[in-house]
Structure 1
Amino acid sequence: MLIRNRIDRRTDLPGPTQQTPSVIAYYLRRSSADPLYFSIAAQLAHCNAHSHSLGGEFDQQRLLFVDRHRSGATTIGREGIAAMLEAARQGRFRILVVRSICRLTRNATDAARLHEQLTGLGVSIHVAGRGQVQQYEIMLLALSAQRERLRMMASLMDGKRRAAVSGEFFGSWPTYGYDRIDGPDWRKNVNQAAILERCFREVDAGLNLQDLAKLLNGECIPARNGGIWRPRHFFARGRGLLDRPILKGVFVWSLWGEKPITISRPDLAVISADLFDRVNERYGVPTRTQEPRTRAPFLLGLVRCACGDRMHLAEDGNAMHLHCRTAQIGGGCDRTKGFSTSIVARQVLHLFRHEILDPDSGPELEEGRRIEWQGLNATVQAERDRVSARIEQIAHELDALSQDEEEIDPYAAAACCELELEHHKLSERLTQLVVPPFGALDWERVDVDRARILRVMERLPSMSRSGEDLRVIELVRSIVSEIELDIREDGYQLRVWFGAPGAPKGFDAVDRLAGRWWMRWFPMPPKGPLRYPEVVLGHQRRAEAGMFRLDDGDWAAVEPVIRNAPRLGPRDRTMAEAILFIGMTGLPAKYFPERYEPCAPLLKHARPGAVWRGMYEVLHQRCSPVVAEAGPAARILHEDLNSRAHAHPVPPLEDPSPWCNPKA
């Protein structure tokens, strides 16, 4: 009875609902090592056949995702798979069709992750001719594809190794001292071999690499790339000019691999084995690690020498100096003198504060920059159109070469590999052809920016990672494209170019003929605190505002220290504040503000270092606000006040620590 009643209740069930066809997307991938069976045209044909069997809708313009010349070992750098995942998040399709799982990935871990992501987004994965695959199936297929990839790599490496043992795979990269001839072989270049032999003799005689580069550059001998000689070119872990074993008649295939193969070629020896081993025992060691910089100027990468070469940054104690790389190795530039980076930064900040952010002259410069940015944008767009047209042409040629799946022509396969490689390079070039948006100045906040720049100038040569300093750095680098520094005996000349920074590689960020640059000549800066006049004036303004004034409690605490100090003259509160000014700023007595000028003659022959140390200890224990914002140099209590450089006033900052990563 219960069963009969249940059947009676089920007699009026509604009919099946009319289902709308699912939206289908294709993912295709081909690498240079794949046979033509996995070509883009062949994959597209199989996916179309499977799509017709499903009865779904496919939009080739929007839902076709292709990766050319990409390995399936990883998903990193695959623009097609990234675009496919983004379209899945937007809900643009419900079925993803691939020719095989190895086209999607050859990594089991990536397969599990992709299946989880797509399943969570409501997308099912179909293999053409097989149907929908579940999680266990895709894991098994991906694991098989991963093992096949490892087997292909092992077979390829084994073939190269056998060719190297038989002498048929000698090497194809360009190298200095040898010429490539027909077939897998080299021959010595007589002129270059003589230069290499001379280099070995000079180094063996005791000449260091820096002087060797200067010697070769002074004689105008062309280097390996037609440029100038640099010390780093000589030794590079078996790939430099003087540490390649082929120079002593021994070719090593897979030098840094697990099983290198040694081939004896005495006919290619340039020098004797004893001389080679003796020189490489001295210099042919891994390059010693460079100590990380504790600071980096915010103009790093923008400053170039007047000769055109970039400036080398050298840290000398608490100062950083710029040196011309070409001049250091005798490459034809006579500007061997270094220059302080903080002086260049001060002049650039002074330019911004008084000319760039000037309401009268600033808008005219900004309009010129906007016109230049529009021209750069049009040029880059034209290049994008040209590259896109070439990519589309290559795609048609690849499809034409892979129409016949039954018979694979080896010449067509070789042509496909070359076209795939060109397609890959052009695709990467297309992603780089992007012009950053135009950085317009906010004229409503121009007074705020001017005040920020002044506060930064009062902290030079120190720069912090505070929000205020980062705002100034962003402002400068959004307008300045290049800084040319010409160091002379009597002064230096700065030329600042304004344009659209961040231009793609191969495009000029500024039109040098447009005249949008600023040039000034300056005498050499004086020694001492007057190198940074804004710092001295900032100290004096804070002193006049009462920053170093002691209240009754602080004076009562430090009065015994003042009373016991010899040769100070009047031991009153003004003298204590004057010593406090010297200790916290590092400025000598001749830079006293007006309120402390009477104490200057009395402190001329006195050494207030011991008094300052005692005062600082007392005030620090009392947590006095007078020393709460002491500069970095004020905390160095063991140094003599008369022998150290001036300190920097440090207002409250979000992060007062200096730069620690030059590449940040």
Structure 2
Amino acid sequence: MIPAAIYARFSTELQSERSIADQIALCEDFAAREGLEVVARYDDAARSGGSMLGRDGLTALMADARGGRFAVVIVEALDRLSRDMEDLAGLHKRLTFAGVEIRAVHEGRVDTMLVGLRGLIGQLYREDNAHKIRRGMAGRVGDGLFAGGLTYGYRPVPGEKGRRVIVEEEAAIVRRVFAAFAAGRSPRDIAARLNAEGVKPPRGSRWNASTINGSASRGNGILRNPVYAGRIVWNRVRMIRDPDTGRRLSRVNPRAAWREAEAPELAIVEPALFDRVQEMKAGRAARRPERQRRPKHILSGLLRCAGCGGGLSVYGADRSGRRRLRCTRQAESATCPAPATFYLDSVERAVLDRLGAELRHPEAIAEFVREYHAERRRLAAGAGARRASLERAEAQAAREVARLVEAIAQGQGDPALLGPRATEAETRRKALAAEVAALAEAAPVVTLHPAVLERYAAQLARLDRALGRALEAGEAEAAEALRELVESVTVAPDPARPGGLYIAVTGRLNALLGAGAFPGGVRGSMVAEDGFEPPTRGL
């Protein structure tokens, strides 16, 4: 008897597990009538037919087919294998290559024509079903019901699909967030206070500024969600599946596609307060570049805590007026394993003094030139390989176009199926040809242009001029110069000397020079009272 395998699948968790057993029983009866011996059974429960990714049963079936375990695959219908035209055609091609025939209980032996027709019908069915689901969801929104998932501040009503009621404990937090922002508190400050008080966030383990802020284009986040003002907005985003990874990704829909409905019973904050918050956020977003926030200090945004990797920020001054730094993660959530506080002026002085000395060293300049040439050679080799790869892909696409056109001319296939494939292949060929044309020939490695070294020297000169006035009126210029050369500054108590500072500078040059350029970081020689303040109780 001919060895055969059975494959069964159902789409969603809402369907019964009996579906798999029923499909297998139907296929076994078919095998008995056809004189086939069932040697293997494969299934995928609650897996969509729109993608082959994530379907372990199908993957195992294809592996065994290549190994010659069976000669026939039995399915209830072709849409059990796939509801995607491309995937179904690919499965048929690979099984045919492995010498395996497909037989469907309701359709019999499967050939290329049947694969094309059933693939088209299956994909149209899937897309039509999606349109019907979206139409039903739009109708639900029109009735003042939710068409999406859960939103912070609300819970579902059992037995009433789409109905929500306010959870007063969470609603109080929402009102508090709106009131704090309207009073001038930043989302980061609000999140820090909620974390410090142990308030449970909507998801995850802690509140973040993004939880409060949300996205203007997507209309989410606590401050931007209109449901808190009594308006349900649906269809702001759509989900699409990446054909290469199978992951579902969200894309923002145009504003005209959104659907809105009034739901005053769901309002948690007054509409006037909601509108005022939106005006405040719009005003901040529209701030002119010259009025936008500038770095307050030379190292603003560059300082990192060695204990946890979080940022260091200025939080106050001691009795002498010296400003201090502390770990923001420790301040917001008390999760830093090695919290410490430092004096800002001492950290700035150590970084500026040592950085200027290190970068002026002639060996650093020589290493810069050597590594520049090595990187140029590497990039040139990569560009040549990329061009060769594109040319091979272009030639393959051209051969595919020629084969499909010849098949249509010889009447060897359905033009309705082969024509679109030929058009797609030609479009791909043209895109590859355009990419090849745009890709310049690998540039020869030339001597480093003097302008590169001049720019490097100019940045050092800017830094040098700013050093003298960095801690007074010239901080803005020093900060801008530093950002051309420094990516981050990690600060920690020096483990080798009690009371000393250890400052590790990660420069933007390191990406070109490599980690060996400054292997030990930049060490400052300071005593405890000059740079490192012992941790304050409660921080």
TM-score (norm 2): 0.52
Change (3 A) 1:100 1:305: farther
Alpha-carbon distance, 1:655 to partner: 8.5
Instruction: Please point out which of 153, 160, 163 is paired with 2:137.
Output: 160
Does structure 1 conserve the Cα–Cα contact (< 8 Å) formed by 2:143 and 2:261?
A: no
Counterpart of 1:331, as a letter, is S
Q: How far apart in 1 are the matches of 2:79 and 2:281?
A: 47
Instruction: Please point out which of 103, 126, 135 is paired with 2:103.
Output: 126
Instruction: Please point out which of 338, 352, 356 is paired with 1:486.
Output: 338
Alpha-carbon distance, 1:214 to partner: 3.2
Alpha-carbon distance, 1:213 to partner: 2.5
State, as a whole percentage, how many aligned pairs show the same letter. Answer: 26
Q: State which structure, 1 or 2, has the greater radius of gyration over its C-alpha atoms.
A: 1
Gaps of 5+ in 2: 239-252, 287-303, 314-324, 374-446, 468-481, 487-503, 516-539
Aligned residues: 339
Q: Which residue of 1 aligns with 2:268?
A: 270
Change (3 A) 1:115 1:212: same
Does structure 2 conserve the Cα–Cα contact (< 8 Å) formed by 1:50 and 1:128?
A: yes
Does structure 1 conserve the Cα–Cα contact (< 8 Å) formed by 2:5 and 2:41?
A: yes
Does structure 2 conserve the Cα–Cα contact (< 8 Å) formed by 1:250 and 1:266?
A: yes
Gaps of 5+ in 1: 1-20, 289-302, 316-321, 336-484, 492-523, 540-579, 587-611, 621-626, 659-664
Change (3 A) 1:41 1:193: closer
Does structure 2 conserve the Cα–Cα contact (< 8 Å) formed by 1:96 and 1:125?
A: yes
Alpha-carbon distance, 1:312 to partner: 3.5
Q: Which residue of 1 aligns with 2:52?
A: 75
Q: Which residue of 1 aligns with 2:278?
A: 280
Does structure 2 conserve the Cα–Cα contact (< 8 Å) formed by 1:29 and 1:103?
A: yes
Is 1:248 the counterpart of 2:229? The answer is: yes
Change (3 A) 1:99 1:286: farther
After superposition, what is the alpha-carbon deviation per residue over 1:167-201, rounded to whole angstroms, capped at 9, x for unaligned? 4x435744333344443433334444343333223
Q: Which residue of 1 aligns with 2:414?
A: none
Q: Secondary structure at the match of 1:28?
A: strand
Does structure 2 conserve the Cα–Cα contact (< 8 Å) formed by 1:584 and 1:633?
A: no
Q: How far apart in 2 are the matches of 1:201 and 1:581?
A: 52
Instruction: Please point out which of 40, 47, 50 is paired with 2:30.
Output: 50
Q: How far apart in 2 are the matches of 1:581 and 1:173?
A: 58
Change (3 A) 1:34 1:177: closer
Q: Which residue of 1 aligns with 2:391?
A: none
After superposition, what is the alpha-carbon deviation per residue over 1:110-155, rounded to whole angstroms, capped at 9, x for unaligned? 1111111111111111112543111111111121122222222222
Does structure 1 conserve the Cα–Cα contact (< 8 Å) formed by 2:140 and 2:147?
A: no
Does structure 1 conserve the Cα–Cα contact (< 8 Å) formed by 2:310 and 2:329?
A: no
Counterpart of 2:34, as a letter, is L
Is 1:176 the counterpart of 2:152? The answer is: yes
Counterpart of 1:26, as a letter, is I
Is 1:637 the counterpart of 2:416? The answer is: no
Q: How far apart in 2 are the matches of 1:173 and 1:202?
A: 27
Is 1:326 the counterpart of 2:329? The answer is: yes
Q: Which residue of 1 aligns with 2:179?
A: 201
Change (3 A) 1:118 1:332: same
After superposition, what is the alpha-carbon deviation per residue over 1:71-120, rounded to whole angstroms, capped at 9, x for unaligned? 11121222222221111222222111111001011111211111111111
Alpha-carbon distance, 1:40 to partner: 0.8
Does structure 1 conserve the Cα–Cα contact (< 8 Å) formed by 2:141 and 2:260?
A: no
Alpha-carbon distance, 1:263 to partner: 2.3
After superposition, what is the alpha-carbon deviation per residue over 1:287-320, rounded to whole angstroms, capped at 9, x for unaligned? 99xxxxxxxxxxxxxx9987xxx643799xxxxx
Change (3 A) 1:273 1:323: same
Alignment of 1:404-483 (within 5 A): none
Q: How far apart in 1 are the matches of 2:137 and 2:98?
A: 44
Q: How far apart in 1 are the matches of 2:108 and 2:204?
A: 59
Change (3 A) 1:222 1:98: closer
Q: Secondary structure at the match of 2:42?
A: strand
Change (3 A) 1:283 1:113: same
Q: Secondary structure at the match of 2:333?
A: coil
Q: How far apart in 1 are the matches of 2:157 and 2:360?
A: 76
Change (3 A) 1:248 1:332: same
Change (3 A) 1:79 1:185: same
Q: In proportion to residue count, which structure has more strand?
A: 2
Does structure 2 conserve the Cα–Cα contact (< 8 Å) formed by 1:72 and 1:105?
A: yes
Change (3 A) 1:108 1:325: farther
